[in-house]
A and B are shown apart, each in its own frame.
Chain A
Amino acid sequence: MKLRNLTALAATTALCAPMAFAADMADEMTIVSWGGAYSNSQIKAYSEPYAEKTGVTIINDESSAEAVAKLRAMNEAGNVTWDVVDVVAADAMRLCDEGLAMEIDPDEHLAPAPDGTSAEDDFGDLLVSDCFIPQIVYSTTFGYRTDLVGDTPPSKICDVFDLEAYPGKRALEKRPINNMEWALLCDGVAKEDVYDVLETEEGQEQALAKLDTIKDSVIWWSAGADTPQLLADGEVVMGSTYNGRLFSVIEEQDQPVAMLWDAQVFDLDGWIIPAGLSDERKARALDYIYFATDTQRLADQAKYISYGPARASSAPLVGQHAELGIDMAPHMPTDPENSKNTFLYNYEFWADYRDDIDAKFQAWLAK
C-alpha cells in the first residue's frame, strides 16, 4: 500500500512540483485503522484521492484494536507517531477523557454540507465526544443460517433466546455490552427502561439470569471475524457481529446466511487526532480530516463496505457497490426497512458501568 501511495506521490510531484504541499504541513502521515476490508474502503475512498490531490505519503497502520492502549503508551513515552486514528466512539470518549486526543470544533475544522448546512448540524447527534469526528454508522446485529432454522426464520431479537424454536448454538460477543440490553429486552423490560433497569444490581442480575437460559448454547466471540466463520462452518445457527461482516458473508461469499435486523445496536466509528502533535503534523491531520469527512467522501466509502455514512447529507449520495454492482442503500443499517427497531449504543452509560458490569459478566462466564 505504501508503495502505491509513493507512486502517487511521485506522479503528483512531477505534475505540480511547485505547489506540491503547503509549507506548513507535514508531507508524510500515519493513518491508523482496523485493517481488512474496512481499511481498504477508507484507502479507496479517502487516502488515495487525498494522496493524489496533495502528494502526501500516507502510511497505513492497522492497530485500531489496541489504539487506546498504544496511544497512552506513546503519550507516556512522549513520542506519538500516529497522525489520524480510526476508533469507535466509546474509545474516542476514553481518549478524550484521558487527554490523549485533541478537541476538534466541527464548524471550524470540518467541511459544511454542499447545501451550506454547517458540519455540526450535518453530523447532528452523532457528535458524541468533543474529540471525535464520526465517519460511519455500523451496527451490531444478528445473522442466521437460512438452512438451519426451519421454515419460519427468526424475525425478532428474542428468537435468539428461544432454544425450542431454534435449537443449536448461538455466537455472542464475550462482553456485556449489547448482550445485557438484548437479554433485558427479551425478559419483558420495555426498550426505554433498559438502561434504568441495568443501572441496578437487580437489573444486572436479571439480565445475567436471562443469558443463563442460553449460556450452554453460546459460543462467545472476541474478534469480529469469528461469527462469520462460525456461520459459514455451520457451527452456530445464529450469531451477532458487525453488519458489514455479515454483508460480506451473504453478498460476497454467497453463504446461506440472512440478516436479522431487529434490535440492532448502532455504533459509530470515526477519526480522532492524537493530542500533542507538532504544528505541521496537526495541520496535515486536520487537512486530511477536512477532506475525508466531507459529504461526497463519506458517501464514497459506502461503495466498498455496507456501513452508513455519518453525515445526513451523504445518505442520498450512496450508490452501488464498486465491484458487485448492487445497490448499497438496502444493506445500510440506517435503511428505513432495516431500522424499524434499533438501539443506539449508550456511551455515557457504558463509560460508567463498563468496568463494574464487565467484572460481573466475566465472573458469571467463569462460573
Chain B
Amino acid sequence: MSDTTQSGPVLSADGTPLKRSLARALRMQKVRALMLIAPLLIFILLTFILPIADMLFRSVENRIVADTLSETVVTLEEWDAMSGDAPGEAVYESLYYDLFVAAEAKEHTKLGTRLNYEQTGISSLFRSSGRKMDDFGEDHVEAIEDASDGALKDAALWYEIMTGGSSDAGNTELLKAQRSKMAQLTGEGFGGDIGFVPGADISETFPRLARAYTDFALFVAVMDGDVVAEEDPWESVFVAFAQEVQAPGGAEKIAGYTGPGAAELQAAAAALADLEPISFKQTFVDIDEDWEDVGNWRTIQTYSPKYTSGYFLNSIDMQKGVDGAEARPENQQIYITLFKRTMFMSLVITGSCILLGYPVAWILANLPTRTANLLMILVLLPFWTSLLVRTSAWKVMLQQQGVINDVLVWLGLVADDARLVMINNQFGTIVAMTHILLPFMILPMYSVMQTINPTYLRAAKSLGATNWTAFWRVYFPQSVPGIGAGSILVFILSIGYYITPEIVGGTKGVFISNRIAYHISSSLNWGLAAALGTILLAVVLLLYWAYDKIVGIDNVKLG
C-alpha cells in the first residue's frame, strides 16, 4: 500500500511549493504597489521627514565646542567650575594649540559666535585672540630662528627632523589621530597621502612638537594643497619645541637626541636657555583679561559635550547653570510668554473664524447652486490675493489715520484726538488673521453642510421642534465634523503664522514664529530656532492627540 498519499507540501503546476509561489506572487504585488507610491514617498521623505529630523537633531547638536577645542575640553574636565579660580596652566596650554590650528582654519570665530549665544563677549574674545596667536613665545620663536645662523628657518630641515630620516619607522598612529582631529575641526575629508609621516623617535621624545608639526603638515597638504617639505612650519611648532625643551627634563631629552638636525636643535635649545619658559596663561591674560574670567570658562565647560539640552532650556526661559538648569533672569524671559500668547491668539482666531464662517457656510450650502457659486467666488477671491497685499490692506483700514477711523470721526462717533488704536496690537493681528484664514474654515464647513440632508430638518420641525431645537439638536451635530476639520486647519496654520503678526502685530501681537524667524535669519542661532520649532511641533501634536481623544479624529471631514 505504498499509495502516493501527499504527505509533502502542496505543489503548484511548476513544481514549487504552492505556499512559496503564492508568497512570491503577493510579494510582486506589494513591490508593484510600492513602486507606484515611491515618487510620493521619496518626495515626502526628502522634503518633509528629513528636514524635520534635521531640525530635531540641530536642537541638541553641539559638536562645535569639542571639535574646535578638542584638547582643551579634555583638560578642562578636571577644572572645578565652583572653585572660583580660573583653570591652571595645562588648560591654557591646550587652548593655545587648539586655538592656533582653529585660527589657521578660521574656525575659531564660528565657535566664538556659538558660545556668544550663551555668554556675552566670547565672540570678540575669540576673534581678537585669534589674531594675536603670534604673541605667544615671540622671543622664543626668534631665538630658535636665529640659532645656528638661521638653520631652523629651513623648511626642508624641519621636514627631515620631523620624519626622523629615512630609517625611521614612522608613527602612523599619531598621524591617524591628528587626521581625525583635523577632519572634525574643518569638516573636510583628511584622507589620502600627505607626503609626511611623523617619526617614531621624535614623537616619543617630543610628543607635543610632533603633534603640532603633524597638524601643520596635514593642514598645508590638504587645505592648501602644498608640499609639506617646502613650507615653513607654523609658530606653534617653534612654541611646542621651546615648551618641551624648557619643561623639566627637557634639557636631558635634547641632549640625548641623536636624530636628524640634532646639532641645530641643540643649538636652539641652548639659545632658549636664557629665556623664561613660556607661560600660556599669562600670555592669554595679556591678550585679553577676559581669559581669566571664570564665567567664560564655565560656559566652555558647560557646553563641551557633543549634545546639549541648552537650546531647549533657553527656549523655555531657562539656562544651564553651574549646578543644572536654572531660570533665566526675569528681564530675559520671553519665550514662555510668546508660546502662551501664540496658543491663546490662535484659539481666539479659530473661534472667531467659526463664528464668522458658520453662517456663511450655511448660506452657501442652502442657496441654489448658481447663487452659491457666485458667493463662493467672493469667499475665494481674497484667498487668491497675495497675503502681503491683504495684510497691508488691513493696515490702511485699521491705522489711526485709516479708513475706519476716518469714517468714525466723520460720523462723530469718535473724537479726532481720540482715534481708536486698532493696529500694531493683538486686535489688529486677530482681525487680519481671521480674515486671511476664514476660507480655510468656510470651505470644509461648506462641503460637510452640503451633505446634510435638508429633509432631516423638515422632519424635526414636522415632529414639533422649534427652529432652534431643530437646528441645535438635528443640524448642528451633523455639521460638527466640518467645524472640526476647519478648526484644525485654522488653528495649526495660525500657530505657525509669521508675516501677518510681523506687519500688524506691533509688540503685543507677535507670535513665537517671529522669534524663530529672527533666530534663523538674524541671530543665526539655528539651534535655538530648532528647539523652539521642535517645541511648537510637540505642542501641535499634543493638541492633535487631545483633539482625537475628545472629539475623535474620525469625526473630521473635509467633505
Contact = CB atoms under 8 A, between A and B. Distances in A.
Interface of A: 65-66, 68-69, 72, 94, 96-99, 169, 174, 205, 219-220, 222, 233-235, 348, 351-356, 358-360, 362-366
B208 interface: no
Contacts of A66: 521
B502 interface: yes
Nearest to B113: A97
B215 interface: no
Given A69-B524, A362-B515, A219 B334 contact: no
B109 A96 contact: yes
Closest 10 CB pairs of A and B: A97-B109, A356-B120, A69-B521, A363-B334, A365-B507, A359-B332, A352-B124, A234-B401, A99-B106, A66-B521
Contacts of B120: 352-353, 355-356
B112 interface: yes
B113 A94 contact: yes
A69 B116 contact: no
B525 A219 contact: no
A99 B520 contact: no
14 contacts: A69-B520, A69-B521, A98-B113, A99-B106, A174-B507, A220-B507, A233-B399, A233-B401, A355-B117, A358-B523, A359-B334, A363-B333, A366-B341, A366-B507
B461 interface: no
B124 A364 contact: no
A352 B113 CA distance: 8
B148 interface: no
A220 B120 CA distance: 26
B332 A68 contact: no
Contacts of B523: 354-355, 358
A356 B120 CA distance: 6
B524 A222 contact: no
Given A68-B524, A363-B333, A366-B334, A352 B123 contact: yes
Interface residues of B, number: 39
A235 B399 contact: yes
A72 B521 CA distance: 10
A234 B109 CA distance: 45
A226 to B, nearest CB: 9
B127 A235 contact: no
Contacts of B127: 97, 351
Contact of B110 (A97, A348, A366): A97
B401 A235 contact: yes
Contact of A94 (B121, B401, B524): B524
A352 B507 CA distance: 25
A143 to B, nearest CB: 17
Contacts of B337: 363, 366
A27 B341 CA distance: 52
A219 B424 contact: yes
A356 B328 CA distance: 12
B504 to A, nearest CB: 11
B503 to A, nearest CB: 8
A170 B338 CA distance: 25
Nearest to B119: A356
B506 interface: yes
A366 B400 contact: no
A175 to B, nearest CB: 8
Interface string B506-539: 1110100001000011111110000000000000
Contacts of B7: none
Contacts of B400: 169, 235
A360 B506 contact: no
Interface string B490-510: 000000000000100011101
Contacts of A352: 116, 120-124
Contacts of B506: 219-220
A285 to B, nearest CB: 19
B129 to A, nearest CB: 13
A354 B134 CA distance: 29
B524 A351 contact: no
Contacts of A362: 334, 515
B525 A351 contact: no
Nearest to B105: A99
B112 A97 contact: yes
B453 interface: no
B167 to A, nearest CB: 41
A268 B328 CA distance: 35
B103 to A, nearest CB: 12
A211 to B, nearest CB: 12
Contacts of A98: 109-110, 113, 524
Nearest to B112: A97
A222 B109 contact: no
A281 B36 CA distance: 42
B428 to A, nearest CB: 11
Count chain A CB atoms within 10 A of each CB in B122, B123, B127, B337 and give the residue with the most.
B123
Contacts of B113: 94, 97-98
Contacts of B201: none
B244 interface: no
Interface string B398-413: 0111100000000000
Interface in B282-336: 331-334
A97 B522 CA distance: 14
Contact of A366 (B107, B401, B508): B508
Contacts of A69: 520-522, 524
B217 to A, nearest CB: 22
Given A96-B109, A174-B507, A352-B120, 16 more contacts: A94-B113, A97-B127, A98-B109, A98-B110, A99-B110, A219-B506, A220-B424, A348-B124, A351-B116, A351-B124, A352-B124, A355-B120, A362-B334, A364-B331, A365-B507, A366-B508
Interface string B329-351: 00111100110010000000000
A355 B399 CA distance: 32
A228 to B, nearest CB: 13
A220 B508 CA distance: 11
A239 to B, nearest CB: 13
Interface string B62-104: 0000000000000000000000000000000000000000000
A329 to B, nearest CB: 34
Contacts of B123: 97, 351-352
Given A68-B524, A94-B524, A363 B332 contact: yes
B524 A360 contact: no
B68 to A, nearest CB: 12
A132 B123 CA distance: 18
A219 B398 CA distance: 14
A220 B121 CA distance: 28
Count chain B CB atoms within 10 A of each CB in A169, A352, A356 and give the residue with the most.
A352
Nearest to A205: B331
A353 B117 CA distance: 9
A65 B112 CA distance: 23
Contacts of A355: 116-117, 120, 523, 525
Contacts of A65: 521
B59 to A, nearest CB: 16
Nearest to A348: B124
Interface in B539-555: none
B85 to A, nearest CB: 24
A234 B113 CA distance: 41
Contacts of A356: 120
Nearest to B392: A229
Contacts of A348: 124
B432 to A, nearest CB: 16
B331 A363 contact: yes
A70 to B, nearest CB: 8
Nearest to A175: B522
A222 B521 contact: no
A99 B520 CA distance: 17
